[in-house]
A and B are shown apart, each in its own frame.
Chain A
Amino acid sequence: MAKLIYGIFDDEEILMQAIPVLKAKGVVCKDVQSPFPIHGIEPLLNFPRTRISIASFLYGLSGTSFALWMTWYMMIHDWPINIGGKPNFMLYLNLPAFIPVTFELTVFCAAHGMALTFLLRSKILPGVTAPIPHPRITDDKFVLHVDVKDESKTNEIAAMIKSAGAQEVLLKSMQFS
């Protein structure tokens, strides 16, 4: 049975140096919790680049399409009106006047779609209880999650994490999503 243990580090630089050392010894570094983003840690943990910006682009594209359809349907198709001598005959003739609304809806859909995707994908939602192995991980502590495949080796791995620079190692496991 796999079990998670946590190495608590004082500084992100020490943590960044520790991960390759531990990996070389065959320790499985699953994840890191930190009070702020540590730049350049994703390749160390073998995390692929997020695709959330692609998602945002697609949301934006659907916003554009929706806005163009909406303005065409409302102004050109359903009830065309001649307002102040400026008729609404065809979409491409009126398009310049529809650009502002199209732009705003593009931004609206891209931004909100991406934000919602982020919250759902990372399971950050109102009412979720945060799994916090150490009370100061949102202050100044950096936590390395280590997966222990064989529980008999727990103490050995804990010693390795400590020698790599961790201040302490927590052995109790927490439920992580």
Chain B
Amino acid sequence: MSGNHEAVVRDPLILGKKTYHQMTEDICRPVEGKANKYWWISFFIAFAAMLWGFTCLAYTIGNGIGTWGANKTVGWAWDITNFVWWIGIGHAGTLISAILLLFRQRWRMSINRSAEAMTIFAVICAGLFPLFHTGRPWLDYWMLPLPNQFGSLWVNFNSPLLWDVFAISTYFSVSLVFWYLGLLPDLATVRDRCVTPTKRFIYGILSFGWKGTARDWHRFEEVSLVLAGLSTPLVLSVHTIVSFDFATSIVPGWHTTIFPPYFVAGAIFSGFAMVLTLMIVARKVLNLEEYISLQHIELMNKIIILTGSIVGIAYITEFFMAWYSGVQYESYAFMNRAFGPYWWAYWSMMTCNVITPQLFWFKKIRTSVMATFIISIFVNIGMWFERFVIIVTSLHRDFLPSSWVMYSPTYIEVGIFVGTIGLFFTCFLIFSRVFPVIALAELKTIIKKTGNQYKKKGI
């Protein structure tokens, strides 16, 4: 036989004793059917938010970033907070599709497609912020090492901000390719089921004429494995480099060596929270509860406990080191974080990120869909506050007391943030209607391996 391993002790990953054809039917249904009322309502809200965000962006382009609350002391504020938040959310997708592939975690197959899509949309949202924060977005190409008319003055490869340009563009394009290659076989499935010639033509183009021969599959699997191997250090490097934006400066509260691992753990933490938020809704709306079962939710919650605890330890370590280093600026920065004018942001962050995920130690909570949904939203909020705390509290009290200021966002900044949330959900909603949201072909490979259920058929 082919050496299919049947786990005796494990529960099946896919419930409902599915056949291959039933799986195809279930997963293609959202693509082939008509959208229901809830989809249209959500789409309308998300689309309106997106339009509002674009209006605010247009206003920013016309009037400059003086329309934002950022000032000369707090030069990085709401926008860079959002940038880091969105980039962090993207990391879960790559963790699920790449790192869990290397660890042979088969449960990832039910969620990797939509988590990767989420990565791509989150990186698009993230990218908008630094691009517009330059103030003159039409000159953004100056960030690229192009021969130019300034005596060929090149970009500075010693700067972490330039590393970011390379890291994020590589991350975006590699994630996109990884995601799309995985989509090809499933788009071919949709293509072969299409009834109208127009749809068939469109999916024929989209599926690149995928034919699924043994050689194709062999190469496909090798490519997926190598791409996973490449994406794993890539995803770790991306948030490491984002943390270098802060850590290589001399601002108290930023200048710490703990930043890279702490940022990466935080990114995965927030990303999994966003995956849970989306998946809990999607599995219900798209009728995929047998594919994304309680077992998947519980496993994701376990990753949230792990990364949430790493983040919690990092917060405490940072605080301890600020005192233990004996550097008065560091001690002041941290005392100011916890008890200064932005204490509410700090304690929101501590509550949401350190305390709430610890509730998942209780099996009852981590296997409850409602509790998971609520906690995942808390984590999303907490991780947004983490970036806000790091950026704003460190900057608003700088070395020169005469330039101490407070920061509050204008409605333009808030509008852009709301707009990116709208953009993210608009993209995700369209994705859920156009592409199969579960990696169908991959999932078919595990149906026989996940328990005793198949034995009874006697094959």
Contacts and interface: CB of A to CB of B under 8 A. Distances in A.
A154 interface: no
Nearest to B164: A100
B1 to A, nearest CB: 7
Given A39-B2, A103-B233, A114-B223, 6 more contacts: A35-B185, A74-B157, A100-B244, A104-B166, A125-B208, A139-B193
A74 B145 contact: yes
A127 B209 contact: yes
Chain A CB count within 10 A is highest, among B166, B209, B211, for B211
Interface in B217-246: 217-223, 225-227, 230-231, 233-234, 237, 241, 244
Contacts of B167: 100, 104
Nearest to B227: A111
Interface of B: 1-4, 19-21, 24, 145, 151-160, 162-163, 166-167, 170, 173-174, 177-178, 181, 184-185, 188-189, 191-193, 204-223, 225-227, 230-231, 233-234, 237, 241, 244, 441-442, 444-445, 459
B162 A114 contact: no
8 contacts: A13-B459, A38-B214, A79-B152, A83-B156, A115-B177, A118-B223, A126-B208, A138-B185
A31 B215 contact: yes
Nearest to B454: A13
Contacts of A17: 1
Chain A contact-residue range equals 35 or more
Nearest to B234: A107
B209 A130 contact: yes
A150 B188 CA distance: 33
B218 A100 contact: no
Chain A CB count within 10 A is highest, among B160, B189, B213, B445, for B213
A104 B166 CA distance: 6
Shortest Cβ-Cβ A-B pairs, 9 listed: A128-B209, A140-B20, A74-B154, A37-B217, A100-B163, A36-B444, A104-B166, A138-B189, A97-B158
A36 B442 contact: yes
Contact of B223 (A14, A16, A52, A86): A52
A34 B204 contact: no
Chain B CB count within 10 A is highest, among A36, A71, A108, for A36
A105 B208 contact: no
B211 A131 contact: yes
Interface string A151-174: 000000000000000000000000
Given A32-B214, A79-B153, A130-B204, A135 B192 contact: yes
Given A35-B444, A126-B208, A138-B192, A111 B177 contact: yes
Nearest to A110: B230
Interface string A67-102: 000110011001101010010100000100110110
A71 B205 CA distance: 39
A134 B153 CA distance: 60
B157 A71 contact: yes
Contacts, number: 210
Chain A CB count within 10 A is highest, among B3, B155, B212, B444, for B212
B199 to A, nearest CB: 15
A83 B145 CA distance: 17
Contacts of A81: 156
A165 to B, nearest CB: 11
B166 A105 contact: yes
Query: Binding site of B, secondary structure by majority: helix, strand, loop or mixed?
Result: helix
A37 B218 contact: yes
A122 B215 contact: yes
Given A34-B217, A74-B145, A130-B210, A111 B174 contact: yes
Contacts of B237: 100, 103-104, 107
Contacts of A131: 211
Nearest to B244: A100
Nearest to A71: B157
Contacts of B244: 100
B193 A112 contact: no
A43 to B, nearest CB: 11
B18 to A, nearest CB: 11
Contacts of A16: 1-2
Interface of A: 11-14, 16-17, 31-42, 45, 47, 49-50, 52-53, 56, 60, 70-71, 74-75, 78-79, 81, 83, 86, 88, 94, 97-98, 100-101, 103-105, 107-108, 110-112, 114-115, 118-119, 121-132, 135-140
B222 A50 contact: yes
A77 to B, nearest CB: 10
Chain B CB count within 10 A is highest, among A32, A34, A79, for A34
A139 B24 contact: yes
A108 B227 CA distance: 10
Contacts of A130: 188, 191, 204, 207, 209-211
B163 A125 contact: no
A45 B158 CA distance: 52
Contacts of B173: 108, 111-112
Chain A CB count within 10 A is highest, among B184, B191, B217, for B217
Contacts of A110: 226, 230
A12 to B, nearest CB: 7
A17 to B, nearest CB: 8
A53 B1 contact: no
B154 A78 contact: yes
A124 B231 CA distance: 23
Contacts of A101: 157, 162-163, 166
Contacts of A34: 212, 214, 217
Contacts of B19: 140
Contacts of A86: 158
A139 B20 CA distance: 7
Contacts of A119: 208
